[in-house]
Every structure is written in C-alpha cells, then in structure tokens.
Amino acid sequence: MALLETKNLGISFGGLRAVNAFDISVEKGQLYGLIGPNGAGKTTIFNLLTGVYQPDEGAILLDGVNLTGKKTIEICKAGIARTFQNIRLFHDMPVLDNVKVGLHNHYPYSTFEGILRLPRYHKVEKEMNAKAMELLEVFGLEKYADYKAENLPYGQQRKLEIARAMATNPKLLLLDEPAAGMNPNETGELMETIRFVRDRFEMTILLIEHDMKLVAGICEKLTVLNFGEVLAQGETQEVLNDPHVITAYLGE
C-alpha cells in the first residue's frame, strides 16, 4: 500500500479552482517530484497535505490513516513534516534550539518541572541536547549549534529547516522548492543531502522544484501540475519527454 495517497483532492478560493481532482500515490521510500509552472497549485497542495488549508472535497490518507480535515498539529503528529518555500526558521533562536523545538513533542516534561528544574528537566534536556546535536551532525551543522539561525549562510538555513523537520520524526517529508535561490554548487550539495536523508532515515520525500537538473537527478517519479490539474504522472524520464509537459512547462 502507498504511504501517501490522495483521492480527488480539490479546493477553491472564491471563483478560482486552485486544485482540482488531484490524485497522487507515493510509495514508501520514494523520492517523488511535484513540478509545474508558477501558480499551478503546488504549494497549495502542500498546504492541503499539512492542514494549513482544508480541502473542499477529496481525502488524504497517510499509511492508511485518514488525515482529511485534521489540524496542522495533528498532521505533524501523524507523521508529515515540511519545509517552506521562503525559509521559515525561528530566526532569533540558536540553531540547536531550532532543532529542539522540532523535538518538542517527543521529549515531554511539564512547564512546572521546567521552572523548578526538577530532576526530570535535567534528564530530558540532556537527552534532547544529545538528539539535537546528533541531527545537526547528520546535516553537518554541528559547528553552528550556538549561532542564531538568522546568521547562518543561506544554504545552511535550508539544511537547518530540513533538520528541524526531521526532528519531528516524520514518515513523509515535504520539501517546498529546497533549491530556490541556490547556486549550482549549493544545489549539487543539496541533492546529496536529500539523497542522504532518504537513504539514512529510509524517508519518503515529496518535493516541489523548478530546478530541472535537480528533479531529473534525484526524483524517481513525477507529477506535473498545470492550472490545478494533473497534466502528467509517471516515471521521471517518461514525464519529462511527454509532449504535453514540454509545451505547458518545459518549453520546446
């Protein structure tokens, strides 16, 4: 059974049909790409999947569990984590704390225990620090642990966002234009990181991207969106050679 499945997903904003009859099926461990021209509804689909918007119709299933109509927090707990097109870090907090916020729900102690610094506080904080440092090391960010997130170089901020998303221990990772604003070197490094995350954590990844080199390089399957509708779907090379896709998006 597929890890993520959507059936006939749709949403309108006023008279605009942003997403219509969207079906997708992502297998466990797959690197899946979602591409299409600007305004095709890609980010809207991410927002539907993470509960930022509620769909007008259709259903979202993660591992067979129906997530339709759930709130963002519940969806996060169910196992979908995401990054954002325009980076959304906790900019005024240290890099380490950014990841620790991601770990929040997995390392509980009460506010009261935190204020009085009871033994549980010290124990849990220690575990949390160790886990957060481990994640930072995976992404090569450990030397930045004390830096304010906003002071990181751009490429590292993207990585930190992925690290924070991974801290929530998701089943499915959604990456919204991870290579936006990166130079070719950084994009190359990012491709390595994405592959590495998939292999190391056996993660399922759905990503939106405009960089065709990255898409062709790492995605196993693709869905092309145009005006909120699925234009083509299938193996990466097949889709990229599809004449409809070439006219609508890639250009002759």
Around Cβ 190, how many Cβ atoms within 10 Å? 22
- Measured from the CB of residue 233, what is the shortest distance to other proteins in angstroms? 26
Residues of 45-84 as b/e, b for ≥16 C-beta within 10 angstroms?
bbbbbbbebebeebebbbbeeebbebeeeebbebbbbbbb
β pairing state of 57-62 and 4-13? antiparallel
Round the CA-based radius of gyration of the chain to a whole number and report it.
Answer: 19
- 42, 159, 164, 221: residue in contact with other proteins (rule CB under 8 A): 164
The footprint of other proteins on this chain (CB under 8 A) covers a number of residues equal to 51
Q: Is 147 in the site for other proteins (CB under 8 A)?
A: yes
- Measured from the CB of residue 148, what is the shortest distance to other proteins in angstroms? 9
Around Cβ 233, how many Cβ atoms within 10 Å? 16
CB-wise, 36 or 102, nearer to other proteins? 102
Q: Is 188 in the site for other proteins (CB under 8 A)?
A: no
- 115, 119, 243, 251: residue in contact with other proteins (rule CB under 8 A): 115
CB-wise, 18 or 99, nearer to other proteins? 99
| Region near other proteins per CB under 8 A, out of 84-92, 180-188, 190-198, 234-242 | 84-92
**What are 224's strand-pairing partners?**
35, 232
